[in-house]
Amino acid sequence: MPGPARSRIQRRPVHGVLLLDKPLGLSSNDALQKAKWLLRAEKAGHTGTLDPLATGLLPLCFGAATKFSHASLDADKYYTAEVRLGLTTDTGDAEGMPVQEKPVQITAEQLQQAVSQLVGTIQQVPPMHSALKKDGKPLYAYARAGMEVEREARTVCVHALNIHHWNPLEPEALTLGVHCSKGTYVRTLAQDLGELLGCGASLKGLRRTGCGHLRISEAITLEQLEAMVEAKRVEALLPVDTLLAHWPKIQLSDNDAGRFITGLRRRVLASDCSAVRVYGSSKAQPVLLGSAHIKAGELIPDRLLSPPEIQAQTAFL
């Protein structure tokens, strides 16, 4: 006999941003689905994946906030990286099989010189064990089939690469602080560093500590979210405009706001700008209407919120 029918979760519109501290071993999508289930949210998305090996800051977007997930995806990233010098693996990280092991015979000066060579605008070849797609398939699918395909080098920027910990008495263990542009593979940085030092290297552990203006200190864990009563879970969400807080702000009059949300361009006294956040007013408080860009004195809508999404924001005011 079939067991008792399981009641379906009643989804609801939930709007805002959750700064999650992703745990080790969980994929970004699994973390998203868990948070979505706990919040009973109708619509959710993340802002770029973290490998299961990596922990740390993963901004999750719900409802209206999903329209602005690209702002976090495009932002600079900050990491703490644990590097194992002297050990090369087939994936470039601790999940792979060892390929070669060499003694680490370097000085602090040699290490600093090698690190310095990886700072600035550099060319990176994406690793085979990555989610980047070629001909519609992720590279890791080719790698698991024992195939290596040609990948074009990409231009990325390493703004800062700082040595947080290295002891010549234990030269294999290195901890780095990384500030880089989107699309930078830290495991590839570790491999390149190993090649420069002549001993090889792989990424032992990775923790994302920042994403744009957001920091890990503001994040909560899935365990903390699960321990909350339902009302507190919703209160843990940050406002819809959290990901846009570093963009210039445009405030419209009620008359212009009404026209803007229908997709009409408005005249503004502002310089050209590729991305601005646009507000109307609600109970004398600003409320996000959407994003836009400014060209030749015109405010041109890009992503607009619907009237229900605009109304929902008043819960944060």
Annotated catalytic residues are 51
Give the whole-angstrom CA distance, residue 79 versus residue 176: 8
Say which residues have a Cβ less than 8 Å from residue 198's Cβ, sequence separation at least 6: 102
Residue whose structure tokens are 């361009």: 265
Nearest to 65 by CA among 77, 54, 57, 73: 73
Radius of gyration of the chain (CA): 23
Please say whether the beta carbons of 15 and 65 come within 8 A.
yes
Nearest to 129 by CA among 57, 79, 235, 203: 203
Q: How far is CA 224 from CA 41, 233, 311, in A?
A: 18, 9, 29
User: How many CA atoms lie less than 13 Å away from 251 in the CB half-sphere?
Assistant: 6
Give the whole-angstrom CA distance, residue 281 versus residue 251: 8
CB atoms within 10 A of CB 105: 12
Q: Tokens standing for 193?
A: 């560093």
